[in-house]
Amino acid sequence: MTGNQIKGKGLKGALRYNLEKVNKGVAEILDHTFASPTERTILKEVLMVKAQRPNLRKYFYHTSLNFPPNENLSNDKIKQIGLEYLHANGFTQHQYILFRHYDADHPHMHILVNRIGYDGTVLSDSNDFARSEKVLRQLELKHNLTQVISSKQAQHRAITKDEREMMKRTGIPSNKLALQVIIKQVLSSNQKLTCSEFIHALQSKGVNVLFNQATTGFVSGISYAYKGNTITGSKLGNDFKWGTIKNIIDYNQERDREIIRQGNNKTKSFQQEPNSTPYNIEWEWPGQFNLHTILKGLSPGDFLHAEQQPEVDPEKALRIRKRKKKARRI
């Protein structure tokens, strides 16, 4: 189970988005603290409480709790989990409303809550991500739910919701997923690769490597350039960080410092002259990595790491883009 958190100063947009889902029959209200679950009543009552803290801008907290597709959860169970999540995060005397959505391939709920309590105290948002992650792990154990590690702990960072939708439409793996598979292929060699062999093996598959190298030769990180995009090892997962890679290949700082420097110069020259890059190298998606299987879910939590993106109302997103464009003109 994962939680996507949003703090903001405007409750109206998120509330309307969820209520419209209810009106369309793809969501329902599980619980709330208001006299009536209508937009007018909710906004009126929230403003009454907010009047105690008129200068607080980010008073509104919105999170979605996402469960793996294999979890068969009743409304009562999801409601219970939602309420326990709120209480464990400190929302004990606060206005809230819980929604369950049915328009995704996994069970999920949205929680809208006022950070300002009935008595005017404000729940601190310091370390709220870490606090939320801890609560989620506790709830997984308590309710016997599938254990989902956070993206910070993941050996492979999960693809995002947008990436998965793109892959469904095109049948083409995202750059992130392709990089993970390419690097795994290179490192699966029966022989321990030298640093030079590692760099050249990746280049042969259209991937250039950029090392974070100090003047002393010390390397503190690694990035991968693929099809015009550069992605850090940490964004691919722990298996792709330099701290892991250097222990898999035959690496020696003094011996390989010049090789790495030359590799960096080559990558930088490619980035400056895109037409000279090997990005047009045709890399064949390996048969053992079935894209359909990946989209269905390699394991119950693969697409539910903390990276997963919250749903966005397309119309609202369009209005925001138009406002930003207009503001730039002014």
Residue type, 155: Q
**Spatial distance between the Cα atoms of 256 and 279, rounded to a whole number of angstroms:** 25
Q: With bands split at pLDDT 50, 70 and 90, how would you rate the model's confidence at 259?
A: very high
Return phi, psi of residue 118, to 5°.
Answer: -60, -30
Q: Which residue bears the tokens 């702990």?
A: 153
Is the model more confident about 147 or about 120? Answer: 120
DSSP state for residue 156 in the 8-state scheme: S
**What mean pLDDT comes out for the span 283-307?**
45
Cα separation, 226 vs 262, whole angstroms: 18
- Give the separation between CA 153 and CA 50, rounded to whole angstroms: 37
**Amino acid making up residue 32:** H
Residue 175 CB neighbours (<10 A): 17
- Report pTM: 0.56
Confidence bin at 325 (pLDDT 50/70/90):
low
For residue 206, count other CB atoms closer than 10 A to its CB. Answer: 19
156 pLDDT band, cuts 50/70/90, is: low
Q: What is the pLDDT of residue 328?
A: 61
Q: Render pLDDT for 90-134 as a digit per residue (tens, 0 to 9).
A: 999 999 999 999 988 788 999 999 999 999 999 988 888 888 888
Contact (Cβ atoms closer than 8 angstroms) between residue 66 and residue 108: yes
Mean pLDDT of 217-225: 93
Residue 327: which pLDDT band, with cuts at 50, 70 and 90? low
- Span 220-231, mean pLDDT? 90
Is 9's pLDDT higher than 90?
Answer: no
At which residue do the structure tokens 């803290």 appear? 53
Domains recognised in the chain with CATH numbers: 2-154 (3.30.930.30), 174-280 (no CATH)
Contact 128, 121 (CB under 8 A): no
Q: For residue 275, name the pLDDT band (cuts at 50, 70, 90).
A: low
